[in-house]
Amino acid sequence: MAQRGGTATPVTDAERDRQELDATASAGKAPRTDRGRRTLRALLDAAAAEFGEKGFHEGSISGITRRAGVALGSFYTYFDSKDAIFRALVRDMSDQVRDHVAPALRAAPDQIAAERAGLLGFLEFVRGHKEIYRIIDESEFVDPASFRAHYATTAERIEQRLKAAAGRGEIRADVSDVHAWAVMGMNVFLGLRYGVWDEDRTPDAVADTVADMLRTGLAPR
Binding-site ranges for a second copy (CB under 8 A) = 55, 134, 137-138, 140-141, 148, 151, 155, 176-179, 181-182, 184-190, 192-194, 197, 201, 205-206, 209-210, 213-214, 216-219
- As a whole number of angstroms, the distance between CA 204 and CA 24 comes to 33
> Which 8-state DSSP code applies to residue 19?
H
Q: Whose Cβ is closer to a second copy: residue 31's or residue 195's?
A: 195
- As a whole number of angstroms, the distance between CA 181 and CA 137 comes to 17
Find out whether 108 and 121 touch, Cβ atoms under 8 Å: no
Q: Whose Cβ is closer to a second copy: residue 76's or residue 181's?
A: 181
What is the nearest approach in angstroms of a second copy to the Cβ of residue 188?
A: 6
Q: Whose Cβ is closer to a second copy: residue 92's or residue 159's?
A: 159
What is the nearest approach in angstroms of a second copy to the Cβ of residue 156?
A: 12
Considering only CA atoms, give the Rg of the chain: 19
What lies within 8 Å, CB to CB, of 192 at 6+ separation is 133
What is the nearest approach in angstroms of a second copy to the Cβ of residue 99?
A: 22
φ/ψ (deg, to 5) at 53 = -85, -45
What is the nearest approach in angstroms of a second copy to the Cβ of residue 52?
A: 13
